C-alpha cells in the first residue's frame, strides 16, 4: 500500500510531537529525515508482514478490504517492529545457551560482546532503521543491502542459530582442527566457521578418492556439492533430524562455489 507525502506528513508530525514531548515544533532537517525514515520503516514492515516476507512468528495482522490510513498502517507496523525485537531477543537467548565461538575472535566479539548492545539501545520508535552494529562475523547468505534495523538483526541471528546447531553436531576438537588446518592464524581471521568445517569435510572426501578434483570450476563445484550431500545424508543425518539436515545443507553449501573456484586456482585450499 503506497501513501503520498501529504498522507505521511501527519504521521511524521505525530512522531515529532512524541520526540519533543510537544515542547517544541522545531527540529533539525536531519532529525526530520530520520523521523520520516522511521515512519516509512514501520509502514514497510507492515506491508512485508502481509506479504509473508518478514519471517515473524507471532503477530498476525489481517488485511481488510478498506484502505487503511497512513497512521493506522504506521501504528500496526510499529507494533510489528516491537514484536520482532522480542522475537529476535528470544532467538538470541536460544543461541547463548551453549554458544561456542570455536576460538574465532570475530564471532565472539560480534555475537557475545556486540549483540547485547542492540537490545539495550535499539530505538524502535524514533530510529528503527538503525541497527547500530557492524556485524563483522560473515554469514554464508547475503542479506540484501536494503535490509536494516531489527529486520537485519533478526535475519542475522536466525543464521547464527542455524550455524551453532550445525556445528554442535561435531566434536569441538574436530572444528578447531579444521580451522587450524585452514590457517594457523584462524583465531584472528574473519572466517565463517561452518564454511571452514564444510571445506575440511569435502577436502577429506576428495583425498579419500585418491586424486585431485579436476575439470572446470563448475564441474568441481558440482562434484563438491555431491560429496557434501553424501556426507549430510550418510553421516550428519545420524546426528540430526531430516528437516534440519536439509536446511543446514542448503545454508552451508552456499560457500561451495567460492571453494570450487579457489580449489580450481590453487589445487587445494
Over residues 121-155, the pLDDT tens digits come to: 999 999 999 999 999 999 999 999 999 999 999 99
8: left (phi over 0), alpha (psi -120 to 50) or beta: alpha
What share of the chain in percent tops pLDDT 90?
Answer: 83
Same domain, 52 and 155: yes
- Is residue 131 within 8 A of residue 88, CB to CB? The reply is no
Same domain, 152 and 213: no
Convert 117-141 to b/e letters by CB count within 10 Å (16 or more is b): ebeeebebeebbbbbebebebebbe
Query: What is the domain count for the chain?
Result: 2
Same domain, 213 and 140: no
Per-residue pLDDT at 234: 94
What share of the chain in percent tops pLDDT 70?
Answer: 93
Cβ partners under 8 Å of residue 233, min gap 6:
245
The answer to the question of residue 205 being in a domain is yes
Per-residue pLDDT at 90: 98
The answer to the question of residue 172 being in a domain is no
* Chain-centroid distance, C-alpha 200: 24
Per-residue pLDDT at 2: 85
- Is residue 111 within 8 A of residue 137, CB to CB? The reply is yes
Q: Which of residues 194 and 215 earns the better pLDDT score?
A: 194
The answer to the question of residue 80 being in a domain is yes
The answer to the question of residue 147 being in a domain is yes
The answer to the question of residue 106 being in a domain is yes
Band of pLDDT at residue 269, cut at 50, 70 and 90: very low
Q: Report how far apart, in Å, the C-alpha atoms of 204 and of each of 185, 194, 237, 260 are.
A: 21, 15, 18, 14
Per-residue pLDDT at 23: 78
Q: Print the domain residue range for 216.
A: 178-184+192-266
Give this prediction's pTM.
0.93
Same domain, 89 and 213: no
The residue written with cell numbers 495482522 in the block is: 61
Residue 168 has pLDDT above 90, yes or no: yes
Same domain, 148 and 213: no
When the pLDDT of each residue in the chain is averaged and rounded to a whole number, the result is: 92
Residue 208 has pLDDT above 90, yes or no: no
Average pLDDT over residues 67-80: 95
Same domain, 38 and 115: yes
Average pLDDT over residues 252-264: 94
Per-residue pLDDT at 44: 96
The answer to the question of residue 16 being in a domain is yes
Which range has the worst mean pLDDT, 24-38, 79-93, 189-203?
Answer: 24-38
Same domain, 155 and 203: no
Distance CA 90, CA 157 (A): 10
Amino acid at each position: 500500500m503506497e501513501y503520498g507525502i501529504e498522507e505521511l506528513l501527519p504521521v511524521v508530525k505525530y512522531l515529532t510531537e512524541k520526540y519533543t514531548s510537544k515542547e517544541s515544533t522545531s527540529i533539525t532537517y536531519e532529525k526530520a529525515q530520520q523521523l520520516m525514515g522511521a515512519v516509512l520503516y514501520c509502514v514497510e514492515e507492515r506491508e512485508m508482514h502481509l506479504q509473508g516476507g518478514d519471517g515473524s512468528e507471532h503477530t498476525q495482522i489481517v488485511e481488510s478490504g478498506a484502505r487503511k490510513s497512513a497512521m493506522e498502517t504506521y501504528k500496526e507496523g510499529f507494533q510489528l517492529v516491537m514484536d520482532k525485537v522480542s522475537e529476535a531477543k528470544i532467538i538470541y537467548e536460544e543461541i547463548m545457551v551453549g554458544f561456542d565461538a570455536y576460538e574465532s575472535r570475530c564471532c565472539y566479539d560480534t555475537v557475545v560482546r556486540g549483540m547485547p548492545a542492540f537490545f539495550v539501545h535499539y530505538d524502535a520508535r524514533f530510529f528503527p532503521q538503525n541497527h547500530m552494529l557492524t556485524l563483522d562475523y560473515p554469514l554464508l547468505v547475503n542479506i540484501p543491502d536494503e535490509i536494516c534495523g531489527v529486520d537485519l538483526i533478526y535475519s542475522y541471528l536466525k543464521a547464527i542459530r542455524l550455524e551453532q546447531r550445525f556445528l554442535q553436531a561435531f566434536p569441538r576438537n574436530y572444528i578447531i582442527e579444521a580451522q587450524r588446518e585452514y590457517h594457523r592464524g584462524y583465531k584472528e581471521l574473519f572466517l565463517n566457521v561452518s564454511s571452514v568445517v564444510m571445506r575440511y569435510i569435502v577436502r577429506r572426501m576428495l583425498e579419500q578418492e585418491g586424486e585431485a578434483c579436476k575439470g572446470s570450476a563448475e564441474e568441481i563445484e558440482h562434484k563438491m556439492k555431491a560429496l557434501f550431500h553424501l556426507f549430510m545424508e550418510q553421516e550428519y543425518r545420524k546426528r540430526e533430524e531430516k528437516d534440519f539436515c536439509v536446511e543446514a545443507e542448503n545454508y552451508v553449501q552456499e560457500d561451495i562455489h567460492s571453494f570450487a573456484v579457489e580449489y580450481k586456482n590453487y589445487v587445494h585450499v
